[in-house]
Amino acid sequence: MNNGGLNLLLADSILIVHFIFVLFVVVGFLCIIFGRFIGWPWIYYRLFRMIHLVAIGFVVTQSYLGQICPLTIWENDLRAPAGQEAYTESFIQYWLQYFLYYEADPWLFGVAYTVFAVLILTVLVMDWKKIN
């Protein structure tokens, strides 16, 4: 595999990691909410809840600092030497980017991330006595 192919493989791998990170934050919160009603004990594991809180906190902090996610930067840095512009379409890239990236004003993302973080923190405080 030449360097261009390796760079594209690494860029697609970073995109997959980015997608998994987003799934962890969003689906993790949905699991916490539904798990409270279903009785899933694992949603009260302190390590899970702290990692989840730190993940959304990282996103919110970057948004307010006006920074681009490091995963996006690394992916772009790998695509450029391989001769791809950022976010040209490979199979994996097309579908993951379709769900991961959308057009909106940056301030709107900051508001959305903050609201989501407040929801996560509120549920964490509500569950604090049960978290072990």
In the DSSP assignment, the letter for residue 39 is T
What's the structural domain count of the chain?
1
Amino acid 90: pLDDT: 47
Residue with more model confidence, 14 or 86:
14
pLDDT in tens, 10-55: 988 998 999 899 999 999 999 999 999 999 999 999 999 999 999 9
Residues 127 and 42 sit within 8 Å (Cβ to Cβ): no
State the residue range of the domain holding 87: 3-130
- CA distance between the termini of the chain: 48
Q: At 51, list the tokens.
A: 């990692």
* Nearby residues of 87 by Cβ (< 8 Å), 6 or more positions away: 79, 93, 97, 101
Which pLDDT band holds residue 4 (cuts at 50, 70, 90)? confident
Q: pTM, whole model, 2 decimals?
A: 0.79
In the DSSP assignment, the letter for residue 92 is H
Residue with more model confidence, 93 or 125:
125
